[in-house]
Homo-oligomer: A and B are copies of this chain.
């Protein structure tokens, strides 16, 4: 698809979204996220050839929240590798993102790295690998290495602290897994690492850039970043496809047909292997906790471009 078409297409989508009657609801349980302007909307599309297309609030930083789980899983796979699968599984959970029920029946082994319990295990793994003193820094450094200009890519310390102080369900999950021996560091350390990861802020542009290695099978273009293995990108993309939207993953796959990861801050990162890395942001959420207009925008974009992985490539048709 000619690049001019993509630019025009996302403009049209953004225009339509601006007047959408339903914008979803802001998450009330995290006060700073509840205060975000619900009219914010941005799209960034990075093509494989390096062209970046932006529209709306694509240069405004927002809290990526659970999208950070993509980077954390990548780091864990690149440092520890396959042994992580003895501590977290690779299957959809069939339960809400913060469910604690399954942990009990499955003896403290979370279903996948994208539900909260699984992400806490990944944070615990990063803490053990990098050390309590350095894990937070190492994580931020990795994320920064994925973007061209790191300005604004930082921890929102105030948000991290607030989430830490009110994150009782996550504390329950961590304690429960510790009970089964599946958390090895001190629980406050694990929670602080986890909530910092979630509290990273980025723009749509930076988010789309950060997905470049996933689009390209692991190869990255920045000078600072090391390449990621093809094996890791395959695994991360497969899990994004199966578990990236919590209990709405199936519906997202049917509508959009791309591996994607959402965050409760209203962002979604979606990858078209070999073709594009897409970031959308709209703060209002649907019933499953995923960006309502972000999903709608991706549905429109994929419908127009034929980018779904389930669509035969145009040149084959």
In the complex, whether A100 has a CB less than 8 A from a CB of chain B is yes
Check if B91 sits within 8 Å of A102, measured CB to CB: no
Check if B91 sits within 8 Å of A247, measured CB to CB: yes
In the complex, whether A86 has a CB less than 8 A from a CB of chain B is no
CB distance from A3 to the nearest CB of B (A): 15
A95 and B94 in contact, given A217-B312, A310-B237 (Cβ under 8 angstroms): yes
Stretch at the interface among A56-64, A156-164, A172-180, A221-229: A172-180
CB distance from A300 to the nearest CB of B (A): 15
Counting chain B CB atoms within 10 Å of each CB, the highest count among A215, A216, A275, A312 belongs to A312
Residues of B within 8 A of A274 (CB): 311-313, 316-317
Residues of B within 8 A of A233 (CB): 310
CB distance from A159 to the nearest CB of B (A): 18
Check if B273 sits within 8 Å of A254, measured CB to CB: no
CB distance from A234 to the nearest CB of B (A): 5
Q: Which of B102, B169, B242 contacts A241 (CB 8 A)?
A: B242
In the complex, whether A101 has a CB less than 8 A from a CB of chain B is yes
Task: Give the CA-CA distance A69 to B91 in the complex, in Å.
Answer: 21
Q: Which of B93, B171, B250 contacts A175 (CB 8 A)?
A: B171
In the complex, whether A248 has a CB less than 8 A from a CB of chain B is yes
Q: Which of B95, B176, B238, B254 contacts A254 (CB 8 A)?
A: B238
Q: Which of B94, B105, B178, B234 contacts A257 (CB 8 A)?
A: B234
Check if B105 sits within 8 Å of A217, measured CB to CB: no
A249 and B253 in contact, given A172-B100, A309-B273 (Cβ under 8 angstroms): no
Residue of B nearest to A236 (CB): B310
Q: Which of B93, B94, B100, B316 contacts A104 (CB 8 A)?
A: B100
Task: Give the CA-CA distance A311 to B237 in the complex, in Å.
Answer: 9
In the complex, whether A53 has a CB less than 8 A from a CB of chain B is no
Check if A89 sits within 8 Å of B250, measured CB to CB: yes
Chain A to chain B: the 5 pairs with minimum beta-carbon distance, closest first: A94-B94, A274-B312, A92-B92, A274-B316, A172-B175
Q: Which residues of A contact B (CB under 8 A)?
A: 48, 89-95, 99-105, 111-112, 168-169, 171-176, 178-179, 187, 215-217, 230, 233-235, 237-239, 241-243, 247-251, 253-254, 257, 259, 273-275, 308-313, 316-317
